[in-house]
Structure 1
Amino acid sequence: MARLSRLLRPETVALVGGSLVSRLVKSCEEMGFTGEIWPVNPDRKHLAGLECFPDLGSLPSPPDAAFLAVNRERTIEAVATLAGMGAGSAVCYASLFAEQGADGAVYQRRLVEAAGEMPILGPNCYGLVNAVDGVALWPDLLGCEPVSEGVALISQSGNVGMNLSFQDRGLSVSHLVTVGNQAVVGIEDLMEELLEDRRVKGIGLFLEAVRDPARFLVVARRALAARVPVVALMVGRSRRGAEIARSHTASISGMTQAYQALFDQGGVMRVGAIPEMLETLGVLVGVGPLRGNRIVSMSCSGGEASHVADLSQDTCLDFAPLPSGQAARVGRILEGRVKVGNPLDYHTFIWDDRARLERLFREVTSGPQDATMLVLDLPDRDGDFSAFWKTARAMATARSTSGRPALVVSGLPENLSADLARELTAAGVTPVRGIAEALAGLDAAVRWGEAIHSQPPISPAAVSPPGDRLIHLDETQAKARLREWGLAVPRGMVVPVSGVETAAAEIGYPVTIKMVGIDHKTERAGVRVGVRTPADLNLVLAEMS
């Protein structure tokens, strides 16, 4: 497959289709695309104010990228034409490919064959946005804005991708790419290309499955070495979630422990929810990898201090007491009215006193801890919130003096305005929406730091297959070969459903029942162990059927 530069940074784009082409043109214009836009439609003279070309062969030159908003049969035809004319890439919007079962899988194989060496994104995907270069191959509403740098978000779900584009958390998004079925271009390919761009400061992944774990690990380790954080949200952990993922993008999800081992080896930080993914990315980009796990938290509320302490119990974070000398200095600033601890409740009697707040925050942030967080809610509402702004700005001043990692964290996600987030970010303070999210982000920063400074794992050497071809064996064939080579293999029989009861009686209960002819049997509920009676066997067969 060719490099992805023409896909991610095209200078000419062809937009093939009908009504969606107008939306695609608008997305390009909103993102400030400066290249050539060529609508293609045999029945229209103009679309979105631009002259239409009747077919791909009429284009001035092979496009760098084409967005194909046509049905699956015409998508395959267009991909073949584009590949033959030397186009750079294609985005395939159509669905009803491998995610629809055996019939769709046939169409997907035809699509891959038609593409040859040309990269294609999808099928069954929404496209991509490159906000640093003004590119938007995107057929729907879009929340991304032009930026100079930021984090790249890669999603297997188009709708989740669209939702991510509307995030308003002060997190700059450099790229947003949806991959759909990953028929040709996979998540690993995109990560590898994005790591070549220094404007990409982090990578967030919304995953249903990893297509090529070995290559994913290589690319993840490259990101780790470059100190580009990778944060992954893996869906399909439950059986029902895995079933939905299969029907959605033909992904085999599940295998939670295997994926966790893969992420651990690659230094990928795994999260459990979309808000946590975004906030963890913000923390990792903002504070970087931490050398240790010592954290200090400040707030003007004992309730908030207790809440921080409670939520930290499931993390690796250490809220150790302040050193005695520092604790004494903090006590003097607070006139002995406060019991100095960590988390620190500094009370409200210095509220609205900018000078005193700056003294306190400078003293606290200069301690031996690895990061300091201030819990502060500042909603975007009418009213006099000047005292709240003084507190936030006092923390920014303290951070500029100490140069140490600092965060301002809201208790409620809606209580940290976009204006405050932008001002804090500009001052080097990391804004975080949610205490739990902040602690998860700091926990990830500690684990990321450990991964960076640890020895890389020893991976098995790549082994080439003997001969000139790969032979894929099902479980029965593989066990037969192992038995021929003298290895102990449990006794088993392959029989039709009508012969299972007789075979079970011959082997002897308890037995294990497995479906034959499918991969990933566990995720598909195709394995049952410990079946002890004929009655249990009949129930299992009924459920499997």
Structure 2
Amino acid sequence: MKDRTAALRAMLSPRSVVHVGASEAGLYPAGIFRSLAASGIEVFPVNPNRQAVFGHDCFRSVRELPKVPDLAMITVDRAHVRPVLSDCVEAGIPAAVVISSGFAEAGQEGSAFQKELEAFSGKILILGPNCAGFANLSAGIVATRFAGSCCVGGISFVSQSGALMMALHGSFAARGAGLRYLVSVGNQVDVGAEELLAFFASDPGTTVAAAFLESVKDGRAFISALALNHAAGKPVVLVKAGRTAVGSALAATHTAAAAGEAKVFEAVCRQYGAILVDDIDDLVSTALLADRCGARLSRRTAWITQSGGLGSLLGDRAAKAGLPPPPFSDGLRSRLRELELVPAWQPILNPVDVRGEAMRGAAIRDVLLPFMQADEIDCVGLLFAKSPYRPIEAETARTIIAVRDEAPAGSGKPVIVVWVGNTSESYVDDPQATSAVVLLVRAGIPVFFQAGDAIGAVARLALWNEARRGDHAGLA
């Protein structure tokens, strides 16, 4: 196979798919076929035991298909995978996704079955086995079994865990994050996470690459992928399991992964500009923020709140993250005094604690505008401490959006909203929805529900920008 990048692009953007093992029962045999059929592409079910699957006439084998499809999805027992792949190669199908499990992750017997798949190297591109498929959200193609809509954007995510890939689809969707590719690699008999990260670097629609890894299949390829993304100005956000003895042992039973030396992995990430986080929530928050406004984030961030306690907490978290909020200039403090946003006896610090009524409705315009107009500020964070019974008002959201949009052309100064206390609202992909969260996310304003998540994501990306520009040595 001469051009694997082109082959990978074709695999993730098929116009026609054969699903071998399609059925109306079973999570993957039924779920994947339904998703493929709903994607609007040509789908051929193959199952010798069925006449039809969800109204689509079945073929007995790949050899009976009326045309050569772009991709084969395989959900058959592991013992039948090798002959199915042989049929695919003979038919000229260029790529296959092997969902079937029970290979190297299942011990010595499973490893023998996986060895059979390695013989197809160079003959057909293989994703898997023991994977959950993929989704190309920008093209509307879902070759996995999750349901529900999400925003389309620039985040491309690869995972060695299929369950986590599907779970994170829901997490990203609830936050209104814009997704491009979601890919599960499983045991990586052929296509590995490193190759996909390199593919994301060259993909013009990807703005940020993210990954959940249990192991690194090819160290040189991994380093090359990180370097390619860094050169392209694309942050790579990683969660790495198996960084402890317990995690390493569990990884080996899950995807036959050898976790590797944690300190070496961490050093490589620092050297080549990857953002290594400790948990999935941090990955989602950082990737979301990177996609929306990553290149414009810096330590020159102003934080505004109507809760002194929340402001104090955020200040502590920011300092701990290596990004203490900078003090405001005398000129900016004077302007805030003139607007009477802060009691005369109260010092004006960053975060600044303003009167509660100043953060509601149209009044928030007077709070936000001075910071949007200040050259010393690169980003503005608005911190709300409000219960679900007194949510952020839609009028408040509309005013925030209007002030953001009034900024001078080309300034691109990002606004971030943090709502601590929300337990009921999340983003819904509904054009009729008018809640504050939906309005803000729809306008491209990131919304967080924990102050620590917000400051952590801002700090990681601000320090990443500094390291890339050479302002500071390394990433904190």
What band does the TM-score fall into relative to the shorter chain? Answer: 0.7 to 0.9
CA spacing shift, 1:377–1:170, aligned 2, 3 Å:
farther
Is 1:433 the counterpart of 2:449 in the alignment? yes
- Larger CA deviation: 166-175 vs 428-437: 428-437
My pick for the range that moved more, 101-110 or 181-190, is 101-110
Q: How does 1:110-189 map to 2 (within 5 A)?
A: 110-138=116-144, 140-145=145-150, 148-167=152-171, 168-189=174-195
CA contact (8 A) 2:310 2:385 kept: no
The answer to whether residue 37 in structure 2 is matched with residue 29 in structure 1 is yes
Partner SS state of residue 298, structure 1: strand
Task: Report the equivalent of 2:379.
Answer: 371
- Deviation (angstroms), 1:442: 0.7
In structure 1, how many angstroms separate the alpha carbons of the residues matched to 2:342 and 2:169?
A: 48
Q: What one-letter code is carried by the residue in structure 2 that aligns with 1:233?
A: V
Matched-pair identity in %? 27
Q: Is the 1:92–1:125 Cα contact (8 Å) retained in structure 2?
A: yes
Is the partner of 1:129 in helix, strand or coil? Answer: strand
Match of 1:424 in 2: 440
Preserved CA contact (<8 Å) 1:236 1:243 = yes
Q: Confirm whether residue 406 of structure 1 aligns to residue 415 of structure 2.
A: yes
Task: Give the 3-state SS of the residue equivalent to 2:448 in structure 1.
Answer: strand
Structure 1 residue 70 displacement after superposition: 0.7
Matches of 1:408 and 1:351, distance apart in 2: 12
Partner of 2:92: 86
Q: What TM-score do you get using the length of structure 2 for normalisation? A: 0.88
Contact 2:37 2:43 in 1 (8 A): no
1:299-347 deviation digits (Å, cap 9, x = unpaired): 1011111111122232121312210111011112126514311111102
Letter in 2 for 1:50: H
Alignment map for 1:92-491 (pairs within 5 Å) = 92-138=98-144, 140-145=145-150, 148-167=152-171, 168-290=174-296, 292-334=298-340, 337=343, 338-352=346-360, 354=362, 356-367=363-374, 368-376=376-384, 385=391, 388-402=393-407, 403-412=412-421, 414=423, 417-418=426-427, 419-454=435-470
- The letter of the residue matching 1:410 is W
Query: Are residues 54 and 38 of structure 1, via their aligned partners in 2, closer, same or farther at CA, if it must alter by over 3 Å?
Result: same
Deviation at 1:74, TM superposition (A): 0.4
Matching residue's letter, 1:409: V
Question: Taking structure 1 as reference, are residues 442 and 174 closer, same or farther at Cα in structure 2, changes over 3 Å only?
Answer: same
Counterpart CA distance in 2 for 1:159 and 1:148 is 21
Instruction: Mark the CA change 1:50 to 1:162 in structure 2 (over 3 Å): closer, same or farther.
Output: same
Distance 1:384 1:250, change over 3 A: closer
Whose relative contact order is higher, 1 or 2, with alpha carbons under 8 Å and at least 6 apart? Answer: 2
Q: Which residue identity lines up with residue 53 of structure 2 in the other structure?
A: L
**For 1:117 and 1:144, how far apart are their aligned partners in 2?**
35
CA contact (8 A) 1:286 1:428 kept: yes
Q: 2:163 & 2:112 partners in 1: Cα distance?
A: 25
Residues 303 and 383 in structure 2, CA contact (< 8 A), matched pair in contact too: yes
1:69 to 1:413, Cα distance in 2 relative to 1, 3 A: farther
Aligned pair count reads 449
* Matching residue of 1:483: none
Residue 538 of structure 1 aligns with which residue? none
Aligned-partner SS, 1:350: helix
Return closer, same or farther for 1:377/1:55 CA change in 2, 3 Å cut-off. farther
- CA 1:186/1:144 → structure 2, altered by over 3 Å: closer, same or farther? farther
Q: Letter of the aligned partner of 2:368 in structure 1?
A: F
Displacement after TM superposition at 1:449 (Å): 0.6
- Indicate conservation of the 8 Å contact 2:62/2:91, yes or no: no
Shift of 1:392: 3.2
Contact 1:79/1:115 (<8 A) preserved: no
1:184-208 Cα distance to aligned partner (Å, 9 max, x none): 0001222233334322222221111
Structure 2: distance between partners of 1:25 and 1:240: 37
Q: TM-score, normalised by structure 1?
A: 0.77
Contact 2:339 2:366 in 1 (8 A): yes
User: Is 1:10 aligned with 2:14?
Assistant: yes
Asked whether the 8 Å contact 1:39–1:52 carries over to 2, the reply is yes
Is the 8 Å Cα contact of residues 400 and 428 (structure 1) preserved in structure 2?
no
Could you tell me how far apart the structure 2 residues matched to 1:11 and 1:252 are?
Answer: 36
Root-mean-square deviation over aligned CA pairs: 2.4
Q: Quote how far apart the aligned CAs of 1:85 are.
A: 2.1
Separation (CA, whole Å) in 2 of partners of 1:373 and 1:352: 15
Structure 2 gap ranges (5+)? 428-434
Q: Quick one: which amino acid aligns to residue 36 of structure 2?
A: C
Structure of larger gyration radius: 1
1:508-527 pair list within 5 angstroms: none
* Distance 1:412-1:67 versus aligned 2 partners, 3 A rule: farther
Give per-residue Cα distances to partners, 1:498-534, cap 9 Å, x unaligned.
xxxxxxxxxxxxxxxxxxxxxxxxxxxxxxxxxxxxx
- Does the aligned pair in 2 maintain the 1:169–1:421 contact within 8 Å? no
* Residue identity matched to 1:400: D
Give the SS at the match of 2:416. Answer: strand
> In 2 relative to 1, CA 352–413 (structure 1 residues): closer, same or farther, beyond 3 Å?
closer
Question: In structure 2, what residue type is equivalent to 1:100?
Answer: A
Mapped to 1, the partners of 2:422 and 2:360 lie a distance apart of 23
Letter in 1 for 2:166: M
Deviation at 1:104, TM superposition (A): 2.1
- The whole-number CA distance in structure 2 between the counterparts of 1:42 and 1:377 is 59
Q: 1:76–1:111: 8 Å Cα contact kept in structure 2?
A: yes
Larger mean Cα displacement after TM superposition, 288-297 or 431-440:
288-297
Residues 89 and 118, structure 1, Cα contact 8 Å, conserved in 2: yes
Kept in 2: contact 1:14–1:66 (CA 8 A) = yes
What letter matches 1:393 in structure 2?
R
Q: How does 1:61-72 map to 2 (within 5 A)?
A: 61-72=67-78
- 2:100 touches 2:130 (CA, 8 Å); kept in 1? yes
